[in-house]
Structure 1
């Protein structure tokens, strides 16, 4: 009645006043429903305390689907709450609007901030090639890229560090192939990123922000590309000046001298990686011949300094690709099918007590709080020692007698478990004394680090006193195998059979000198 008097006093007719009261009731009801939906959602997130921040910022359940990272930063000041809310909101959006593909942008309107102006351009730009090859292929061609894809599959999203890695890979490809990226190309490029990493649709403006009038664009991808391109242009000018100077001095460089100069640049390892990749291709034949001539010792790293740097991994990848074209990605493409099928084989053919313990732990593979994805892959790999046991013998540490290698010996020489990376030198020395005759150099070792065998945290390859670190076990396994192939090394005797299996099954490489085994033949037949 009070509401009716209020509207009548304002000059409205009775009919108009009644209609206004009905509208007020509907709006109030609608507002209450929206607030209830928002509360229910936050209860599912276990983040009810965020409600007061959202209400203060006038954020409703209906408007959540438009929310981007900048909006969250403004609405939810506490960093911890914002981080947790961001991840849960992203998962909710992917589930709620999955049928709309990039659902977070489907309803984006002109109300959104200027930084979101690119979203409209992207949604209307057809997907086209900007990079030298499709982004997914580009990622699969590098250890960092493979690790990025594995991380995304496991965590259903990319963090800040992984986005920086993605940008680095993309920019290196653009610079290496001298691709001139124009402002209008960024839309298509970010479309391709989203086509591979669906959840990145929420972070489009992280990569590129267009600007109006005379202001330069912004965004991490834009800035990284601009800086790298500027450096390359300066380097090209320096090279051009150097070439002119050499021409004026009438210095003629023969092919043999050029190869020697390329070798020297790799030995010193003081050039940019893009230059070294080109040099690596040029010197592949002569470098391979030289490495084969060297007795595997410190001479290799003394002659080729690059193998003692983080760049060694990419050079090893490149060399393997030249030795065995089309086989670089075989481990990753076959692993999923293999890991499922091999478990049934293990159930019927594993008898060793340690192996049975790994089998028992593998039953918890789906529960990440008990066993991580990488740990499961370590166990699956180690169980190969149980079904392909060693047949070799080695001398005891005092040299008085020979001893047949056991399954436990095979596992120990295949993958080394450490609580702390600082312990590796003593363990390497112990294994060298235990398994290898005097005078033989230690071979590459896989090392896994973790305070608990069920939750391994980091992965390494030990190679001639150098350590290569990896984020994922499968990447370290892949690179370790390629080291054996590139340097033409023999597998450790105690775990020779598992390595030969990986070589023949995953990479389809067979050598005349491969040891023969009935159990290996049986396993390969089963996996056909």
Structure 2
């Protein structure tokens, strides 16, 4: 299908070209361009994960005592920071296969201040990208909305869009935008031949809402049960208490740990960083959304990126 210019559109808005062939061509063009790109972040990550600099690692100091100390102490905080910094190379060699195992290995992350340590490790991995979410999200979402708004038909999405247009404070927009994100870019993947991911499932890999603070534990339990029923584990996500644009509390739920934040932007920034610091896989239903955030907001490319064709056009915005 060819693109419909604004002058001929029934909605008065530009409608992008769509279809399997269009997606395939965009994907091939994107891959071709990607091959020509070289990124320092990719090179650095591959060196860490492959342990290519094995000779250098042999000369690293033994941090076993520091790791043991961190497993059994939480203060003074100055000492925590010093030992955390020294044990960074050990965490990059982590063999933990789940978020739960990572938290058990580094239990100090269960503290409310644990997210500060996550941010420190991310800054070591990606020195230049730590503030990129704050710099890039609003601009990117504006472009995405301009591209995809003509396609919005879901009643929930239309209601969110109406509320979003009335909100002026950027931080209060973010939970609305993240929810709308899953409708604007629905998943195309499947859990199995019979089970196709829904937009609702994709959204819940990013953000879950409850109106009642007393219902938090029940909501978390339901998320765990839902994942267990299809042999999946629950990956970290945002939990909003109250209205999306006027929340009374906002948390990152990571295993049995809850980090509370005052800012939605900070919560979503740390959520993304957790995946890279923990070497965790993105939730299957939401992986395309996280990949867009990774590529467009943080400008991070890794050799593990499996780009689905239907997001190639968005990555080229």
Q: TM-score, normalised by structure 2?
A: 0.74
Match of 1:360 among 133, 144, 162: 162
Paired residue for 1:509?
A: 300
Contact 2:178 2:206 in 1 (8 A): no
1:106-505 to structure 2, matched below 5 A, reads: 255-256=61-62, 259-289=63-93, 292-296=94-98, 298-366=100-168, 373-394=170-191, 402-436=194-228, 440-450=232-242, 452-505=243-296
The structure with the largest helix share of the pair is 1
Residue segments in structure 1 that go unaligned for 5+ positions in a row: 1-253, 367-371, 396-400
Task: Label 1:489 to 1:437 Cα distance change in 2 as closer, same or farther (>3 A).
Answer: farther
Distance 2:146 2:250 in 1: 27
Question: Residues 197-231 of structure 1, C-alpha deviation per residue, up to 9 Å, x if partnerless?
Answer: xxxxxxxxxxxxxxxxxxxxxxxxxxxxxxxxxxx
Deviation at 1:421, TM superposition (A): 3.5
Paired residue for 1:519?
A: 310
Distance 2:188 2:264 in 1: 27
Distance 2:114 2:208 in 1: 22
Distance 2:214 2:224 in 1: 17
1:79-90 to structure 2, matched below 5 A, reads: none
Distance 1:300 1:383 in 2: 31
Distance 2:200 2:234 in 1: 19
Q: Secondary structure at the match of 1:446?
A: strand
Distance 1:392 1:353 in 2: 22
Task: Label 1:270 to 1:361 Cα distance change in 2 as closer, same or farther (>3 A).
Answer: closer
Deviation at 1:344, TM superposition (A): 1.8
Deviation at 1:438, TM superposition (A): 5.7
Distance 1:343 1:320 in 2: 29
Question: Residues 124-157 of structure 1, C-alpha deviation per residue, up to 9 Å, x if partnerless?
Answer: xxxxxxxxxxxxxxxxxxxxxxxxxxxxxxxxxx
Larger Rg: 1
Task: Label 1:357 to 1:491 Cα distance change in 2 as closer, same or farther (>3 A).
Answer: same
Question: Residues 435-474 of structure 1, C-alpha deviation per residue, up to 9 Å, x if partnerless?
Answer: 4566543211111111x34422221001110100000111
Q: Secondary structure at the match of 2:273?
A: helix
Deviation at 1:255, TM superposition (A): 4.3
Task: Label 1:270 to 1:435 Cα distance change in 2 as closer, same or farther (>3 A).
Answer: closer
Deviation at 1:275, TM superposition (A): 1.8
Q: TM-score, normalised by structure 1?
A: 0.46
Distance 2:213 2:302 in 1: 35
1:13-92 to structure 2, matched below 5 A, reads: none
Contact 2:167 2:245 in 1 (8 A): no
Q: Secondary structure at the match of 1:416?
A: strand
Task: Label 1:373 to 1:458 Cα distance change in 2 as closer, same or farther (>3 A).
Answer: farther
Residue segments in structure 2 that go unaligned for 5+ positions in a row: 1-59
Task: Label 1:385 to 1:278 Cα distance change in 2 as closer, same or farther (>3 A).
Answer: same
RMSD, matched Cα? 2.3
Distance 1:479 1:377 in 2: 14
Distance 1:359 1:410 in 2: 18
